[in-house]
Amino acid sequence: MNETALHPMTLKIRIAGEGDYNGEDRPFPWQFVCDALSQNILWYAYRTPRSVEELAALTGVPAFYIEDTVENLLRREALMRPAKRTVQTDFLIFDDRVRTYETEQRVALAREVAPVLYPSAKKLAEQMIALPIDTAGRPFDVLLCLFTLLALDESAAAYSPVACEKIGARYDGGRWEYRGEREEGAMDIGVNKNLNCGEPDSWMHYVYCFPPFRARRMMRSQELAVCAALLRGDALDRTQKEIAARMVAEGYCQREQSGVKVMIPALSAQHYAQFHAFVAKDFAEFLPVYRQKLQQYMQGYIRCFPAHLEKAAARSGQFLFVSLFRQIAEIWQRQGLLQLPDGADCDVLIARGGAPKA
């Protein structure tokens, strides 16, 4: 038994991409690969291919238990076989090597782009509020962050700093890939989306999480159907009223004299189209410059990961297009350009089609 067996690793595993999951009757793929033994196997086989015998020595667990867990991880596409007798982790883990590079390079990059982005971000927020839209009572600076994040998010594919392949279909038909963290990513932004693909005339829910914004779960499709009904002014049926009551308790809605009101900014189809028009005009100079800066950053970033994960690392760089905003917002706050209350929410509803009744 190696000394490593006395110090088991903790690995937080999640997914990035698309799929129809809710964590309950439709479990997320990571829920099948996140037990303690799986975490340790995935960690020890990340940068170096390992045999079952090596993994048994590193974890202090008998080989026959290792074999069963390895088979599950192969079946769930968390491991791959580089050779007949070895396995290797087949997704990105953001370990100390990656975090060291990010700490050294990321803040410097944010300092370069923060002053260039602010005027466009401020103008975008002002224009969206003036349409007008229902802001759900959110302060201007919160909306500035929301619309800037949405602008970067929606522009990431077209202005990706590196060419990257789309995620292929996985064993369950979803298009996603695992992401691992040795510890909570202190430099990232959590992005959760329910695209509500099965409901073409309903609404999508985008949630962005980073301090001082709270971590908020994305709404489920049934809850989005309630939002759609409320935004249209429709009467709720009995089941929808029960769902709405839970949504009030969680702060997604608010009970008023006139009834239940959605407490999330909502962009109708017309608002969403106007948003894209504003971004195309007002971010036209910034986005190419931003891409060029990120391209320079990505050259060293991709080298932080194992060679067999180069394509996944390139896809991760597209997410950097959004996540760097965390450092940019921190700079704006230090400069007095931004004041964000603790525990605020940074999320938005976007119409998939149709619009709420006037």
Cα pseudo-dihedral 50, 53, 58, 62, rounded to 10: 140
pLDDT of residue 354: 42
For residue 239, pLDDT over 90 is answered with yes
Sheet holding 266-267, edge to edge: 190-194, 203-209, 347-351, 266-267
| Residue 352 · residue 199 · CB < 8 Å | yes
Peptide bond into 212 cis (omega under 30): yes
Name which of 183-197, 285-299, 342-356 the model is least confident about: 183-197
**Hey, what CATH topology would domain 3-90 get?**
Arc Repressor Mutant, subunit A (1.10.10)
DSSP 258: T
Sheet containing 175-181, strands listed edge to edge, beginning at the edge strand earlier in sequence? 12-18, 175-181, 92-94
Give the residue extent of every domain in the chain: 3-90, 96-351
Indicate if the pLDDT at residue 5 is higher than 80.
no
Tell me the mean pLDDT in the region 70-76.
Answer: 98
Cβ atoms of residues 56 and 63 within 8 Å: yes
pLDDT tens digits, one per residue of 178-217: 999 986 555 688 888 888 876 666 899 999 999 999 999 9
Distances in Å between the Cα of 88 and the Cα atoms of 42, 70, 219 are: 8, 10, 35
Q: What is the dihedral of CA 18, 219, 228, 199, to 10 degrees?
A: 30
Structure tokens at 219: 């709404």
- Using DSSP's 3-state secondary structure scheme, residue 190 falls into strand
Structural contact between residues 179 and 90, judged by C-beta atoms closer than 8 angstroms: no
